[in-house]
Amino acid sequence: MTADQPVPAAQYLRMSTEHQPYSLDNQSATIQKYAECQGFRILQTYSDAAKSGIALKRRAGLRQLLQDVVSGAAPYRVILVYDVSPWGRFQDTDESAHYEFLCKSAGVPVHYCAEIFANDGTLASLIMKALKRTMAREYSRELAVKVLEGQRRLARLGFKQGGRPGYGLRRVLVSPDRLPKQPLAHGEGKSLPLTR
């Protein structure tokens, strides 16, 4: 490959929930700018839409990327990721490092395009990356605690949490002061953010 030819790259995109409609596009736009500045050309995209970053088993995109890289079948020489968080919010930060190490060992390093550090193996970048991985893990843990406590509180108030209503029961939109407003049809959601 000559010096004027762009380096082939893959991008990995992930968003946690379906309530982030522009997240993958925003990640991809930032990655594309980074690729242009660094002389990379994106050949392939792997993505995990509406997938939590804490478990590999639910992330088909990342699993396929790792399989392609480790098998030697990958037609690219670098992996571009928006930042440390989409790569993974694994509860054991060594797991995130392990998957990155597998790629680097296969000659396909990971670049974090929106981070303030270059993923170049220097002491400063290693410290920053470890800190960012720990922050991502802690954010995920704190969010899980908050969501669970919120669900418990709503359940104590008498609101069903998830799943279909029991036989003979119907979902009803209620006001903030818990007065019934209207019945909800199957699959219909609340439209007001302050109602339950």
Query: What single string gives the DSSP state of each residue in 129-196?
Result: HHHHHHHHHHHHHHHHHHHHHHHHHHHHTT---SSPPPTT---EEE-TT--EEEE--TT----STT--
At residue 162, does pLDDT exceed 80?
no
Residue 8 DSSP class: E
In a domain, 40, yes or no: yes
Same domain for 87 and 130, yes or no, is yes
Same domain for 117 and 179, yes or no, is no
Same domain for 112 and 192, yes or no, is no
Please write the tens of the pLDDT for every residue from 50-77.
777 788 988 999 999 999 999 999 999 9
Same domain for 139 and 167, yes or no, is no
At residue 122, does pLDDT exceed 70?
yes
In a domain, 155, yes or no: no
Same domain for 11 and 53, yes or no, is yes
**pLDDT class of 43 with cuts at 50, 70, 90:** very high
Same domain for 190 and 120, yes or no, is no
**pLDDT class of 195 with cuts at 50, 70, 90:** very low
- For 58, the domain range is 7-143
In a domain, 151, yes or no: no
**pLDDT class of 196 with cuts at 50, 70, 90:** very low
In a domain, 92, yes or no: yes
The CATH number of residue 64's host domain is 3.40.50.1390
Same domain for 15 and 96, yes or no, is yes
Same domain for 87 and 171, yes or no, is no
In a domain, 158, yes or no: no
Same domain for 91 and 175, yes or no, is no
In this structure, of 97-101, 107-111, 126-130, the range with the lowest mean pLDDT score is: 126-130
Same domain for 58 and 139, yes or no, is yes
Q: How many domains does the chain have?
A: 2
Calculate the average pLDDT of the chain.
85
Distance from the first to the final alpha carbon of the chain: 59
